[in-house]
Amino acid sequence: MPTYEYRCEKCGEQFSRMESISQHGRKRPACPKCKSVKITQMLSSFYAKTAKKT
């Protein structure tokens, strides 16, 4: 399940949240610190795990 990173525009809190791809587009999460929904998704790094060749 992908992890998305957010920043609250009201208090500046940065937080991450695991969401399925289908859940991600439906509703914005609230800030865990101040409960505001004025958040911005941040760009973050990722890694891909692939199967080893035998």
Summarised one tens digit per residue, pLDDT across range 8-27 is 999 999 999 988 888 887 88
| pLDDT class of 47 with cuts at 50, 70, 90 | low
Inform me whether the pLDDT recorded for 32 exceeds 80. Answer: yes
**Average pLDDT rounded to a whole number, residues 32-43:** 94
CA 32 vs CA 4, 14, 46, 47, 50: distances in Å: 14, 9, 23, 26, 33
Inform me whether the pLDDT recorded for 1 exceeds 80. Answer: no
pLDDT over 70, % of the chain? 93
List domains and CATH numbers for the chain: 3-42 (2.20.28)
CA 19 vs CA 22, 28, 29: distances in Å: 8, 11, 10
